[in-house]
Structure 1
Amino acid sequence: MQHTDQTLYSTTTVPELFLSAFKAFPDRIALVDTKQQLTYREVATKSFQIARLLQHKGMKRQDTVALLLSNSIDSLLTLIAVQLMGLRYISLHPMASESDHCFVLQDAQVRMLIADAGKFPERTQALHQQKIVQQVLTLEPSSIDAGLLQQALSMSPEPISIDAQPEDFTKISYSGGTTGRSKGILQTHRTAVTMVNYQLAYYDWPQNIRFLATTPISHAAGSFVLPIFLRGGTMHLLDKYSADTFMQYVTQHQINATFMVPTQIYTLLDSPQLAQTDLSSLEFILYGASPMAPARLLEALQKIGPVFGQLYGQAEAPMMISYLRKEDHDPSRPHLLRSCGRVIPGNTVKLLDADLNEVPAGEIGEICVRGPLVMDGYLNRPEENEKVFAGQWLHTGDMARQDEQGYLYIVDRAKDMIISGGFNVYPSEIENCLATHPAIAMSAVIGVPHEKWGEEVTAIVVLKPGITPSEKELIDFVLKEKGPVNTPKAIFFEEQLPLTSLGKIDKKTIRSKFWNQQDRMVS
């Protein structure tokens, strides 16, 4: 007898995972920030009230909501409520430009924007005035809205009915595109639940998790909420990172786990206070988003201890393609400090050449992935889907080799993406911006090695005859159009740019001038 109804085999959903955590640990402390702390029971009650308010305002399963939030309990309650309702949510990058935010709101046909107007007053007002979305809500009372949190208090705290389906989209993550505009990455409950299961199974979690979020919950830090909740742990929220604030907080609250990008770890290592601070409560520091310089990783192991784990993934296969365990951060095996770990069991990963053939061990190929972690595709981008899923593989764009023990070593990016301070920067967007300046004939944007940021955004430009803008004028131009993360820190003026035989700008040649002393082409 065969079962044809796929309901029998369907996965669970994100809301169901939240409900199980609420039920399992009602009296434990779930969330802490500088203003308040809440138990799991209180998180559940407040999340249900916010969800009911959103229903009252007309939102229903699979409507799309955009969030412009900070690292606070109120922001996180809103994010949880949105997920409980089965909405598609988009987290707007707090440092992106207004035009980028407007593009995302239009591209995803967002129905509602929820913003922390206290933290982002000017951007919230600007997006409200654009009238792209039907409704703009603010967490606290503002000139735009009576305040989401205040209004939610009048709603019933009873659990809402969960009608999210496993094949529904839960999140749309925006990532840069080769045409200069971002692509919406569609993540179903399958992707999200798979990621959580892998995180629970393979990370080196301590007992009784006390986790400090130092990066935006709108991005990487938000991915840790569910695994921490399912372990009955406590998530502490730090709104602005500095090395001294971090050390003070860890000591005061006996934090035993955190996630950091390499640049944060570098500032910690360089702080004069580190030698005088007791960080012995820290058992687990996850790092990722960009590679970490092996010399600095060794320094971190010596100064902080053997507490590091490295994650590797991308928005198209979030967080969990491979993992370098704490025990693999071994100074007696220094070559492993260059690795991004072994493939997570459950993923199928092969290194493929341009003809989709697997390369032998030790040779360089593109990291390609199959499995339940992989996204559903890009929103409204059939041509991009065809490319990224060529041969029924997810093509990551990362070039790597794999040793006989199964460890992966990323050596370069097939895509030109720059990772600066843990943020993804897409050169084509900056090149397209520069192309709108009347003085620019041609430009190439690359990342160059930087001790603190990993890579520094740098532009090489060719000017039109008779116009000579200053470096500062061009930097200010991009800053205004694209925001600080995407702004070149240096601009070099050249008579011409090297071209390939096909007439394309030869970025490999350009990059080699800046990277010729490096042993790999990522930093």
Structure 2
Amino acid sequence: MKSEKPDMPVYAPVDPHEAMDAIGHRVQHYANTRGNHPALMDDQGTLDWRGLLEQVNRIANRLREAGLQPGESVAALSGTRRDDVALFLGTLVAGGCMVPLSGMASAEALAMMVADCQARFLFVSGQHQALLAALREHLTDMPAERIISLGSPMDGAGCELADWLAQATTTARPEPVTLDHPFNIIYSSGTTGTPKGILHDYRFRQRQMVRMSRYGLDGDAINLVSTPLYSNTTLVSVLPTLYHGGTLVLMAKFNAREFLALAEKHRVTHAMLVPVQVQRILAVPDFDRFDLTSFRLKLCTSAPLRSPVIADAMARWPGNLREVYGLTEGGISTSLDCAAHPHKWDSVGIPTEGAEVRVIGEDDQELPQGETGELVGRAISMMRGYVNRPQQTRDMLWTSPQGEMFYRSGDMGRVDEDGFIYILDRRKDMIISGGFNVYPVDLEKVLLAHPAVADATVIGIPSDPWGETPLGLVVLRPGQNASETTILEWANRQLGKTQRLAAIEFRTTLPRSAIGKVLKRELRAPYWPEA
């Protein structure tokens, strides 16, 4: 994998004069210039920049000693604690490519990801001990000595992090890297299909880290992190904060009232949230009791934020709110400044600096302003491609008449007369539940495997706690009498936690188009009366 990753295509505009300023090199600087400044705060206390950099360097040096070569992958089933952040930075300092993995995925899917990225090491946090036990039998090419537990010892791991680092030095030796060097791989979907590894290089991340500092994610930021590190949503705010020497307040598990307590206690200035979190925080009965005057900006992404929620946040929560829309792959990048544009709260804003968004029709021809089609985008930050999936990478591309590469979003939308972008539907019928992407096709495959099921589809329906939740619509085979509960429990046993179906409803038939496609818009309509 070491030689393959840098050879993948680059679709982002390339500036031959762009200077390299690697995060692994920058963070070494902070131990000297702001050694006593808080770097990380979690339930274990506060770690300053000097202490963090000692841990980062120990991890980097131990990885190299254990055989990690520049460009090779280090995978982690991690959480949101100080060791998880130190591991991410330590991997970069060693010249490795970080691969954060979701503990919500199935053991089979995780094994595919570990094999796909050819990970040399796997680190596992304590909360994933049971998952490691299920995963271990699938990791046929991963010897036990390369599985390290973050926290207490666990079955299936060769050793615990403290023991693994016992002889490691704190000497600063950041590996030389280039803008084309692999930075991280983020895996995109499901537990039943084949996950896609999205490869970001240093060019992608460095440009993003610089751009996000213009939102105040800099050395003065105190950023409250309440989403997991395997999510690109999290990294979009975490990495710039670290890159500029700021402070992260880490929540191991999100709780709305605890979020408010931490924000008040630590005088938090920034947070990256998903819509469901914003709704839950505002719904805390004594929300107005907390002192949130330190907030300068809340960022919200992963799904459109409904305008009534924006209005509530702008009225009651100090500081501005900015909605961010984009793809993990890059390309599409928009932002809505809610304070500056109160009449555009139903949009996702305008393209960010260096980004361009167009709308194309079913024939791939560009549509005029105001017409609805698929959103495609081009930006200064674009992935190198899907790891080991060149055809899927090519399938995502749309080439403009000028020969420029744009990424297909899969989202249907339009651009108004002022250049603001509105998302109207999801072309691929993706469901966003609690900030996580759920792909109906993965759930449908499971349902269709049940012997009593003749036909099935999955749609997203409204959910107060999750924003959206998956509903399975099932047609039984003649003569079958399985219950809705039986099929629901059977399917959910095979699905990851974030994929699980909320309910099953039986139908006598599913509406289909002339060419046989299930008419999901028609099925969704009764559940979304305002759509």
- The match for 2:512 is 499
In structure 2, C-alpha distance between the alignment counterparts of 1:247 and 1:329, rounded to whole Å: 26
- The match for 1:75 is 84
Mapping of 1:417-496 within 5 angstroms?
A: 417-496=430-509
The answer to whether structure 1 residue 323 and structure 2 residue 323 are counterparts is no
- The match for 2:5 is none
RMSD: 2.4
In structure 1, C-alpha distance between the alignment counterparts of 2:444 and 2:79, rounded to whole Å: 30
Contact 1:353–1:365, Cα closer than 8 Å, also in 2? yes
- The match for 2:365 is 357
Q: Unmatched 5+ residue regions in structure 2?
A: 1-14, 400-404
Q: One-letter code of the match for 1:343?
A: P
Runs of 4+ in 1 over 6 A off after TM superposition: none
* Displacement of 1:207: 7.9
- The match for 1:3 is none
Aligned length: 507
Contact 1:62–1:168, Cα closer than 8 Å, also in 2? yes
In structure 1, C-alpha distance between the alignment counterparts of 2:26 and 2:219, rounded to whole Å: 20
* Displacement of 1:237: 0.4
CA displacement, residues 48-81 of structure 1 (integer Å, 9 cap, x when unaligned) = 1011111122221122221111111011111111
In structure 1, C-alpha distance between the alignment counterparts of 2:284 and 2:416, rounded to whole Å: 36
SS class of match (2:522):
helix
The answer to whether structure 1 residue 371 and structure 2 residue 379 are counterparts is yes
Contact 1:210–1:235, Cα closer than 8 Å, also in 2? yes
Mapping of 1:18-33 within 5 angstroms?
A: 18-22=27-31, 24-33=33-42
* Displacement of 1:381: 2.0
- The match for 1:100 is 109
Q: 1:381 aligns with which of 366, 370, 389?
A: 389
- The match for 1:51 is 60
In structure 1, C-alpha distance between the alignment counterparts of 2:165 and 2:176, rounded to whole Å: 21
Distance 1:193 1:429, change over 3 A: same
Q: 2:221 aligns with which of 209, 212, 218?
A: 209
Q: One-letter code of the match for 1:275?
A: D
Length-normalised TM-score, structure 1 = 0.91
Contact 2:376–2:408, Cα closer than 8 Å, also in 1? yes
In structure 2, C-alpha distance between the alignment counterparts of 1:373 and 1:22, rounded to whole Å: 29
SS class of match (1:236):
strand
CA displacement, residues 118-172 of structure 1 (integer Å, 9 cap, x when unaligned) = 2211112222233332421112333423312333242110112413332122211
Distance 1:307 1:42, change over 3 A: same
In structure 2, C-alpha distance between the alignment counterparts of 1:300 and 1:370, rounded to whole Å: 31
Q: 1:271 aligns with which of 284, 294, 305?
A: 284
Q: Unmatched 5+ residue regions in structure 1?
A: 1-5
- The match for 2:266 is 253
In structure 2, C-alpha distance between the alignment counterparts of 1:8 and 1:267, rounded to whole Å: 46
In structure 1, C-alpha distance between the alignment counterparts of 2:278 and 2:202, rounded to whole Å: 32
- The match for 1:113 is 122
Q: One-letter code of the match for 2:450?
A: H
Mapping of 1:198-237 within 5 angstroms?
A: 198-201=211-214, 203-205=215-217, 208-219=220-231, 220-237=233-250
Q: 1:347 aligns with which of 337, 352, 355?
A: 355
In structure 2, C-alpha distance between the alignment counterparts of 1:207 and 1:60, rounded to whole Å: 31
* Displacement of 1:208: 2.4
Q: One-letter code of the match for 1:286?
A: L
SS class of match (1:199):
helix
SS class of match (2:367):
coil
SS class of match (1:441):
strand
* Displacement of 1:383: 2.5
CA displacement, residues 213-237 of structure 1 (integer Å, 9 cap, x when unaligned) = 0111221223322311243321110
Identity of aligned pairs, percent? 28
In structure 2, C-alpha distance between the alignment counterparts of 1:501 and 1:19, rounded to whole Å: 62
* Displacement of 1:430: 0.8
Contact 1:206–1:283, Cα closer than 8 Å, also in 2? no
Mapping of 1:281-292 within 5 angstroms?
A: 281-292=294-305
Q: 1:137 aligns with which of 145, 148, 153?
A: 148
The answer to whether structure 1 residue 509 and structure 2 residue 522 are counterparts is yes
Contact 1:292–1:454, Cα closer than 8 Å, also in 2? no
In structure 2, C-alpha distance between the alignment counterparts of 1:285 and 1:92, rounded to whole Å: 26
Length-normalised TM-score, structure 2 = 0.90
* Displacement of 1:22: 4.8
* Displacement of 1:12: 4.2
Q: One-letter code of the match for 2:381?
A: L
